[in-house]
Chains A and B, each alone.
Chain A
Amino acid sequence: MNINFKLIISNYTDDALLELLKDNANEALQHIYTNWREGFLHWVQNGYGCNETEAVDIFQESVLGFYKSFKKGKLEDINSSLKTYFYSIGKYQALNYFNKYKKKNSIKSSEEMAKWLPDEEPVEFETEEENPVKKFLDKMQDPCKTILISFYYYEMSMANIADQLNYKSIDVVKAQKYRCMQRLKKVVQKEMKKKA
């Protein structure tokens, strides 16, 4: 019988949060969402004059940007706290958001905002590319899609995936993952042949 004891922590240190991101990204992201949301919304609404809905959008884009930074290993080398880095992403996202919707005269003095900024480069956001695999991966039924996204995107361990999906063992997950990978490749190659 697998018994999981979940320790409920309201505030992680930066090191602990990084460890949690490596071990269970889903839980770490949910923790960030729950615990950083209020402060961030307050900050972005005050600083950028946006309403709550816009602030939530910016927050969610910032969480995504933060996770991308983590996957690229950028969080290991920052000089500021994780939260400060998160806010620097938030600033970038807010400016992006308002440039997009052409909102002017809503940004307060940069002096107040500057205290949140570390001496870091803003996160680079990749441009979208055409992708033949994307269409079929998106259409995949569970458990394939969940297994592949959990492993390759959230970088969950096989043990965690087995737990999440109630599989009996890691070997069962591995075997299922391989079948899913085979199926996906077969479908993509078939499609590519048709187009060629």
Chain B
Amino acid sequence: MSEKKKFHSLTKKFGFESKSNELESDDESKQLLEEDANYFQHFIGAVDEIGDLDLRAKMKNWEKARSTEIKSTLEEEEDSFQENMLYREIMSASERSKAIKVKTPKRQFEWKNEIQTFTFHKKIKEVLKFEVEDNCRKSVATGVFEMNEKSGKAELPLKVLKNGRYYLKIFSTTEFLLLDFYIKNTKPSI
């Protein structure tokens, strides 16, 4: 059998037909293989073995990357629960506010439902606005309390907020109060 015929039968036998158009057009490389069917057989065997090792190494990297991704998602979430030290100072000072005194919920409450009800020690006559910031002082929501004498409701779009610690700034025209709360609704996506 001529070397060329051996080449083609080996090509078929080892399924070396993919990209055959490119293989056919790559005359110089093809010639190197065609010249020696024995070498060709060893070549494609070697490619298979080395290729398998390469794919195994790739899969190990994908597995590693997956673990790193999970780890960094969990670490990120841990960071988002950290206390902001500046706001810790401001919270203590704002508790001395006379006009706005929140009865419930207490500090570090969990904001579970989109609408959260607050009760106040005194009747609030003014419009109460609020702003929510994450623990990096980035503003994530603003709104106005829906008031009813000594209670008020505030609404937050929980579905778009990540788990973490947040700071609720409550404003009247003259007073300011700062509270912290948590959102723990969603698990990190893995």
Contacts and interface: CB of A to CB of B under 8 A. Distances in A.
Contacts, number: 95
B2 to A, nearest CB: 19
B51 A133 contact: no
B49 to A, nearest CB: 5
Contact of A153 (B29, B48, B59): B48
A157 B19 CA distance: 7
Specify which of A132, A152, A155, A157 lies most central, judged by the most chain B CB atoms within 10 Å of its CB.
A152
A162 to B, nearest CB: 12
Interface string B20-62: 0010001011001100000100111111111111111011101
B51 A153 contact: yes
| Most chain B C-beta atoms within 10 Å of own C-beta, residue among A26, A153, A188 | A153
A148 B44 CA distance: 10
Q: How large is the interface on A (under 10, 10 to 19, 20 to 34, 35 or more residues)?
A: 35 or more
A177 B39 contact: no
A184 B47 CA distance: 12
Contacts of B18: 22, 71, 155
Given A148-B47, A158-B22, A188 B39 contact: yes
A124 interface: no
Contact of B32 (A60, A67, A152, A185): A185
Contact of A154 (B26, B43, B51, B56): B51
A60 B55 CA distance: 9
A173 B22 CA distance: 12
Contacts of B126: none
A195 interface: no
B15 interface: yes
A71 B15 contact: yes
B15 A72 contact: yes
A20 B167 CA distance: 48
Given A64-B55, A149-B47, A73 B22 contact: no
Contact of A134 (B15, B49, B54, B56): B49
B63 interface: yes
B53 to A, nearest CB: 8
B42 to A, nearest CB: 4
A34 B26 CA distance: 34
Interface in A145-192: 145, 148-149, 151-155, 157-158, 174, 177-178, 181-182, 184-185, 188-189
B189 to A, nearest CB: 13
A137 B32 contact: no
14 contacts: A34-B62, A60-B60, A60-B63, A64-B56, A64-B59, A128-B49, A132-B42, A151-B19, A152-B16, A152-B51, A158-B22, A174-B29, A181-B33, A182-B32
Closest 8 A/B residue pairs (Cβ) = A153-B51, A133-B46, A134-B46, A133-B42, A152-B47, A155-B18, A72-B15, A178-B28
Interface of A: 22, 26, 29-30, 33-34, 37, 56, 60, 63-64, 67, 71-73, 128-129, 131-134, 137-138, 145, 148-149, 151-155, 157-158, 174, 177-178, 181-182, 184-185, 188-189
Given A72-B15, A133-B45, A178-B28, 18 more contacts: A30-B58, A37-B66, A60-B56, A60-B63, A63-B59, A64-B56, A64-B59, A131-B45, A145-B50, A152-B44, A152-B51, A153-B48, A153-B51, A153-B55, A157-B22, A177-B29, A181-B29, A185-B32
